[in-house]
Amino acid sequence: MRIACIDGDGIGPELVDSAREVLAAAAEADGLTVEFGSESAGAGTYLRTGEPLAAGALERFRTEYDAVLKGPVGLPDVRKPDGTEAGVLGGVLRNGLDTYANVRPVRLLPGVREAAGPIDYVIVRENTEGLYLSRGSGVRNDRAASDQLLMTRVGVERIVRFAFETARARTGAPADGVRRVTCVDKSNVLRSFAFFRDIFHEVAADYPDVEADHRYTDAAAHDLVANPGHFDVLVTENFVGDMLSDLGAATVGGLGTCPAGNIGERTAYFEPVHGSAPSIAGQDLANPTSQLLTAAMLLDHVGATGTARRITGAVEAAYAEGAVRLNPHGTPTCGTKGVTAAVLSRL
């Protein structure tokens, strides 16, 4: 398989190096051949070229690679003239590749922290519409500003169907084993979310084997903390999903433990949930767990399921056996390289 790598900014290169090393070792153990390509993107690329992504990269992602492994990008001081952050790739890749499904598993790894019960759910976030479709196209003056939220039937139908298919492939919510999709919205306030919920009901009728569930956004934020075992798969709009996935990460040890995938009909790219954390870059402090689990998601997506499980199992063993422990602020006590070594030894 051929994998494009975007090293990114800040801690990105350290994390992607760790993932490349683990992915290559796991693939070799299973007799797979992996070739890594390198593509320039992020804040550093923006400063050099005026664009956040190397010329022609989108077409190469579509035609020359099986998938893309991306590190975190962006630096807080690298800004566009309108004040928004430059060097980030969300709109460039998600809309450019039509990777409409943002998939964010939230799972409590063994040995990370005490919890009342297991936490294991997936947030399926619509990736190309919603409030973030206004990225770069809102209007403002010195007295007012406006960004528009847009949903389409095609966009909502496909993300809801993706969520139900995801639930069918899982074993159900930890609390009761029920395969369940929870629609998270503000349909009591906004017409766009009422539209989302109506289409959710339509699609749910095609999946009688999966329970259709509902939460308003604020109630979902509460219940993801108070009763996380109830949830199996959640489906929601772009901006809401962005917020809830960070909230979920805080319940399982922090953003450094959470992977993500961006999946479309033709191509996909995989990345950690968190940012580039430039304040700790180059100091062997970053937690590569999110990037390693991201690599496992990539392998699973391209059909190398056994190799993906090999990586996931090694990560779980490293935590369960105490080889990897996290400081209160989420960095590993053994450092980035120590986590990598612990996982490699358990492959």
- The catalytic residue positions are 132, 186, 218, 242, 246
Distance CA 80, CA 72 (A): 18
Distance CA 337, CA 19 (A): 11
Residue 260 pairs in a beta bridge with: 271
Q: Which among 290, 327, 343, 339 has a CA at the least distance from the CA of 72? A: 290
Nearby residues of 347 by Cβ (< 8 Å), 6 or more positions away:
22, 25, 26, 29, 310, 311, 314
Task: Quickly list DSSP for 9-46.
Answer: STTHHHHHHHHHHHHHHHHHHTT---EEEE--BSHHHH
Nearby residues of 93 by Cβ (< 8 Å), 6 or more positions away:
53, 58, 61, 68, 70, 99, 262, 269
Amino acid letter, 198 = D
Residue 199 pairs in a beta bridge with: none
Distance CA 294, CA 71 (A): 10
149-153-158 Cα angle (round to 5): 105
Please report which residue ranges of the chain form alpha helices under DSSP H: 12-29, 43-49, 57-63, 90-96, 153-168, 191-204, 217-226, 238-251, 289-301, 305-320, 335-344
Distance CA 73, CA 277 (A): 9
